[in-house]
Amino acid sequence: MNQQVPTETTFGSISPAEFFYRNRQLAGFGNPSQAVYSAVRELIENSLDSCEDAQRLPSIDVRMTSEDSDIIRICVSDNGTGIAEEYVPRAFATVLYGSKFHNRQRRGTFGLGVTMAVLYGQITTDSPVIVHTQYKGSQGKEYALFIDVETNQPIVKSSRPLDREYDGTSVTLQLRGDLKRAEERIIEYVRLSTVSTPHAQILLEVDGTESLKSGRWWNIHPPPVISSNPHPRAADLEMLRRLAQNNGEKRLQDFLVASFQKVGIKTSSRFLKFVSFDPARKVSSLTRDDFGRLSTALRKFDGFENPDSKSLSPIGKEAFLAGIKSTFNTVSVYYSSRGPSEWQGNPFIVEGVIAIGDAFPRSDIPILYRFANRVPLLYDSSEDVLTKTMKRLNWKRYNVDSSAPASLFIHICSTRVPYKAAGKQSIDTIPEVETEVLSLMRDLGRHFGKTTRKSEKALREGKKMREYARAFRHLAKFGADLAGTDEVPSTSRLVKQLFEVYPDE
């Protein structure tokens, strides 16, 4: 019997572009309809972030055409900051390169989304991405770009000066996909995007026909978010070593104060006493074991304040309610929020609205709309901590049933949303996040119960008043007949007084 002789193992490496070329489903490009949706979503998110960087009310145009049976042309234009020309090739044609790596809230996370859409278009249609951008009033420029998959480097096919009417960016790409199946999901995404970003206006056009114009429900731009130093509880060994590389000559106490948020002289002194380190010791003298001790102590020390929330941008009560009431037909809405809290040193806020209205399907549990960093999450809902938490609650206790159509709108914002995968469609089950979401949903549920009980009581009282009014009118008519007069006295005041004296009977 012949046996195969083991061959020598060959080692090698691949570029990030090569990895996501082979594993495109991880980034939300697993099938033709999802690919179209993911491409549109990533382009809109980049545009919204760019407009917020510029502190402008976003105006975004999304135009899609079917140039062949399954070749889709997508063009998304915005009035954002534009991109300085030295960054354009890498921003659109280098995977994991971007401006989303600062410690502040952003819609994007990995520097992956737009380049993944470019990569998918390139491998399915062999066409470049066309980028037309104008930055801070400088001369506009147009690029045609490919990605070198093996090296993860941009290939500039062409570039030329081309002015725009105003600053901003237009991105045009072609990909093979299923627009017919994706269109309904894209429309839902755009509508919900203007719920979570109500100061934006988004125009969606498909094959030359306007499919949807949504937004500008709120005319106040949210305040800009501010990048912050990491929180000490977020500092693992790798982070500590990286921070120490450029601070070797600093005293340990000065290093802690300069490198982390919410750490001053008093807090750093208490911490260094807790870990038994000399405050005057030079950072360059720390050994691997010392960094290990520091990292462990930073997580265990309970004297640090909660993370700074200035790096976060919740939707806010008035804006959230304006977005929901402008998009859905509601009869009652209630807002609540929790936080700022933190998970592993990462600040987060959860906020939510429970809405009652005939626009929502009737069910024994509320219909859930999920948002993370203002982005609607439309896929993988069963794996999401928000869905799992909602299903844990006994909604009958809060008077929710199929007779009272209700929906939950839950938004989590964080400098680091714990997504389950690179596709950013579901949030992982983190105990700290789960606890805050559960408390938020209970508060919303209690308010829903009070509202529906008041409504039911009002209906019952209205029915009783009508019955009493009818009976009193008969009595008044009977009394007038007995008195031999045609003038029947009014009984409405008597009925009203009766319910004021005995409201619960």
Indicate the domain borders of the chain.
Answer: 16-215, 232-300, 317-451, 453-501
Dmax over CA atoms of the chain, in Å, equals 122
Q: How far is CA 362 from the centre of its chain?
A: 26
Q: 299 with 231: CB under 8 angstroms?
A: no
Residues 173/118, Cβ–Cβ less than 8 Å: yes
The rounded distance, in Å, linking the Cα atoms of 254 and 142 is 47
Give the residue from 469, 361, 505, 348 showing the smallest Cα distance to 415.
348
pTM summary value: 0.82
Report residue 69 as tokens.
């049976």
CA dihedral of 149, 150, 151, 156, whole degrees rounded to 10: -40
Are 411 and 350 within 8 A, CB to CB?
Answer: yes
* DSSP H/E element including 356: strand 346-356
- For domain 317-451, which CATH number applies: 3.50.50.60, 3.30.70.940, 3.40.50.300, 3.30.230.10? 3.30.230.10
Q: Smallest Cα–Cα separation from 197: which of 323, 366, 348?
A: 323
Other residues' Cβ atoms within 10 Å of the Cβ of residue 213:
13
Residue 408 confidence (pLDDT):
95
Q: Could you list the pLDDT tens digit for every one of the 505 residues in the chain?
A: 566 666 667 766 677 678 766 777 776 787 889 899 999 999 999 999 999 988 999 999 999 998 667 899 999 999 999 999 999 999 998 887 765 445 556 676 555 678 888 999 999 999 999 999 999 888 999 999 999 988 989 999 999 999 888 899 999 999 999 999 999 999 999 999 999 999 999 999 999 898 899 999 999 999 888 888 889 988 888 889 888 888 888 999 999 999 999 899 999 999 999 999 999 999 999 998 999 999 999 989 999 988 888 889 999 999 999 999 999 999 889 999 998 898 988 899 999 999 988 888 888 889 999 999 999 999 889 889 999 999 999 988 888 776 678 899 999 999 889 998 877 889 999 999 999 999 999 999 998 888 765 555 554 555 556 666 676 666 766 666 676 676 766 666 665 666 555 555 4
Neighbours of 166 (CB within 10 A): 13
The pLDDT of residue 101 is: 44
Contact predicate 349/320, CB 8 Å: no
| Distance, CA of 283 to CA of 242 (rounded, Å) | 12
Distance CA 56, CA 447 (A): 36
Separation between Cα atoms, residue 489 and residue 476, nearest integer Å: 6
- Helices 265-275 and 252-259 pack at an angle, to 10 degrees, of 120
What's the 3-state SS for 212-240?
EEEECCCCCCCCCCCCCCCCHHHCCHHHH
Residues 6+ apart with CB under 8 A from 326: 194, 198, 217
Q: Sign of torsion, CA 283 287 288 293?
A: negative
Taking the domain 16-215, which CATH number applies? 3.30.565.10
Q: What tokens were used for 379?
A: 């896929």
Q: β-strand 367-372 against 406-414: which pairing, if any?
A: parallel
Task: Write the class of the CATH domain 232-300.
Answer: mainly alpha
Q: How many CB atoms lie within 10 A of CB 285?
A: 10
DSSP sequence for 23-48: TGGGGT-SSHHHHHHHHHHHHHHHHH
pLDDT score, position 28: 72
What is the C-alpha separation between 495 and 466, in angstroms, rounded? 9
**In 10 A of CB 431, how many CB atoms?**
9
CA–CA gap between residue 437 and residue 455 (Å, rounded): 27
Residues in the chain: 505
Tell the residue number behind the tokens 């997580």, with chain if given.
299
